[in-house]
């Protein structure tokens, strides 16, 4: 039984990657999960400099989901390579470093620094954070901006470059195409959906930032649809995410076209979820006689419609 998947030149032991922003810098979770057993660990988004983020409340629960507006609090790339990367390397984690910038130059500078250090497997370009005013999403909501930042970072690093796309656009597939044309090695999608929650008694927003990003099972069907659309638009590997809680959810994304997946909000609810999902994937492979999990990617059968669920 082979659970491994390939993202360009990178081979992952399995398709499960801890999603950026949902797993600290990885080291926080070393007590509860052997980091080397994960396909990868996408660490919290890093700017060049340290950032404090937004004042709390930073999260609020919503039906089958949550909003967050953390504001990318972080230690900056310099402290990351000094204080966190050695431990991640010792623990044999496959490290995806999520990077953010207010300018193309900042993205390139961070990518250069990371390229000079051992233990970084890939760079995920955060061009999709909905919670900060400057940078990030301004690249992710503009086709030229996406192309420019991806091609610039592509030129300064030998590491795989994986832009993380926002769902807050009319047509995500066009952004996947822009990323592919600019030389990306893969795309990850989706980041959170811009959303808000209001207290009807006081008429006040529940988050300090007023708006925040919606994640969790509530967004999963939309994310699956977006992966499916991107699969048809590009040849690049897709790392799919959005509300994955179970092995079935992973399989749904893979069948829609994802090569690997990220698990985020579910890790908050259950930090021991990784083994449960991997066991579920193995059970599925046994019962469906699947030898290689990677053979599931993009195997959706649209020639027929499933109806068995109707009586469920």
Partner 1 sequence: MPIDVDATVIANTRLSDDYSVLALEAPDVASLAEPGQFVMIKPSAGVDPLLRRPFSIFEILRDANGSPTGISLLNKRIGIGTALLYEATPGSRLGCLGPLGRPFEPVSPPAEAWMVAGGVGLAPFVTLSEALSARGTKSRLFYGARKSSDLTHVDLFERLGVEAVLATEDGSRGMHGFVTAALEAALRATPQSQEIRLYACGPTPMMRAVAKLAAAHGRRCDVSLEQVMGCGLGGCYSCVVLTHTGGGAPHFVRSCIDGPVFDATRILWDALVH
Which of 186/219 has CB closer to partner 1?
A: 219
Which of 7/223 has CB closer to partner 1?
A: 223
Dist. CA 224–CA 221, nearest whole Å: 5
Q: Indicate the pairing of strand 5-7 with strand 10-12.
A: antiparallel
Q: Name the segment binding partner 1 (CB under 8 A); options: 65-73, 116-124, 180-188, 282-290.
A: 65-73
Question: In the structure encoding, which two tokens stand for residue 233, read together?
Answer: 């638009």
Task: Report whether 101 contacts 135 (CB < 8 A).
Answer: yes
Distances (CA, A) of 211 to 24, 132, 263, 285: 22, 10, 23, 41
Q: Can you list the alpha helix ranges (DSSP code H) found in 44-116?
A: 76-79, 85-90, 104-115
Dist. CA 300–CA 256, nearest whole Å: 6
Percentage helix, strand, coil, to 5, in the chain? 35, 20, 40
Dist. CA 305–CA 287, nearest whole Å: 22
What binding mask, one character per residue, do residues 17-46 give for partner 1 by CB under 8 A, x or -? ----xxxx---xx-xx-----------x--
What binding mask, one character per residue, do residues 178-217 give for partner 1 by CB under 8 A, x or -? --------------------------------------xx
Select the residue interacting with partner 1 from 3, 10, 38, 70 (CB under 8 A).
70
Catalytic-residue membership of 22? no
What binding mask, one character per residue, do residues 253-292 give for partner 1 by CB under 8 A, x or -? ------------x-xxxxxx--------------------
Q: Which helix (H) or strand (E) holds 146?
A: helix 143-156
Report in angstroms how near the CB of residue 61 gets to partner 1 at its nearest: 5
Which of 29/107 has CB closer to partner 1?
A: 29
Evaluated on CA atoms 27, 30, 36, 38, the torsion sign reads: negative
Report in angstroms how near the CB of residue 48 gets to partner 1 at its nearest: 17
Residue 68 in the binding site for partner 1 (CB under 8 A): yes
Q: Which of 22, 100, 129, 230 is catalytic?
A: 129
Q: Indicate the pairing of strand 198-199 with strand 204-205.
A: antiparallel
Rounded to the nearest 10°, the torsion over CA 258, 261, 262, 263 is 120
Task: Report whether 98 contacts 19 (CB < 8 A).
Answer: no
Which of 70/172 has CB closer to partner 1?
A: 70
Task: Report whether 257 contacts 223 (CB < 8 A).
Answer: no
Which of 99/161 has CB closer to partner 1?
A: 99
Which of 104/211 has CB closer to partner 1?
A: 211
Footprint of partner 1 on 222-251 (CB under 8 A) = 245
Report in angstroms how near the CB of residue 23 gets to partner 1 at its nearest: 5
Select the residue interacting with partner 1 from 8, 37, 59, 233 (CB under 8 A).
59
Binding residues vs partner 1 (CB under 8 A): 21-24, 28-29, 31-32, 44, 52-53, 55-61, 63-66, 68, 70, 73, 216-217, 245, 265, 267-272
Active site residues per annotation: 129
């Amino acid at each position: 039984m082979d659970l491994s998947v390939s993202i360009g030149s990178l081979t992952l032991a399995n398709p499960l990657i801890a999603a950026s922003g949902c797993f600290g810098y990885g080291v926080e979770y070393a007590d509860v999960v052997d980091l080397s057993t994960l396909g990868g660990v996408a660490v919290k988004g890093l700017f060049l400099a340290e950032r404090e983020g937004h004042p709390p409340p930073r999260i609020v629960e919503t039906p089958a989901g949550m909003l967050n507006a953390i504001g990318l609090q972080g230690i900056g790339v310099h402290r990351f390579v000094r204080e966190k990367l050695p431990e991640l390397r010792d623990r044999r984690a496959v490290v995806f470093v999520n990077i953010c910038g207010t300018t193309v130059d900042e993205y390139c500078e961070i990518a250069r620094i990371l390229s000079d250090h051992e233990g970084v497997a890939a760079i995920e370009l955060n061009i999709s954070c909905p919670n900060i005013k400057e940078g990030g999403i301004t690249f992710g909501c503009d086709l030229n901006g996406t192309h420019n930042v991806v091609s610039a970072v592509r030129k300064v690093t030998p590491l795989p470059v994986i832009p993380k796309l926002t769902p807050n656009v009319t047509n995500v597939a066009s952004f996947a195409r822009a990323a592919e044309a600019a030389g990306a090695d893969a795309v990850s999608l989706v980041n959170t959906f811009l959303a808000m929650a209001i207290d009807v008694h006081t008429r006040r927003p529940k988050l300090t930032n007023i708006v925040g990003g919606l994640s969790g099972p509530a967004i999963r069907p939309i994310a699956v649809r977006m992966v499916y659309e991107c699969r048809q638009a590009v040849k690049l590997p897709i790392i799919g995410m959005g509300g994955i809680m179970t092995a079935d959810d992973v399989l749904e994304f893979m069948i829609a076209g994802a090569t690997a997946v990220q698990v985020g909000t579910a890790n908050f609810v259950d930090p021991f979820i990784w083994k449960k999902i991997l066991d579920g994937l193995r059970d599925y492979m046994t019962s469906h006689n699947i030898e290689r999990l990677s053979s599931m990617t993009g195997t959706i059968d649209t020639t027929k419609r499933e109806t068995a669920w109707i009586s469920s």
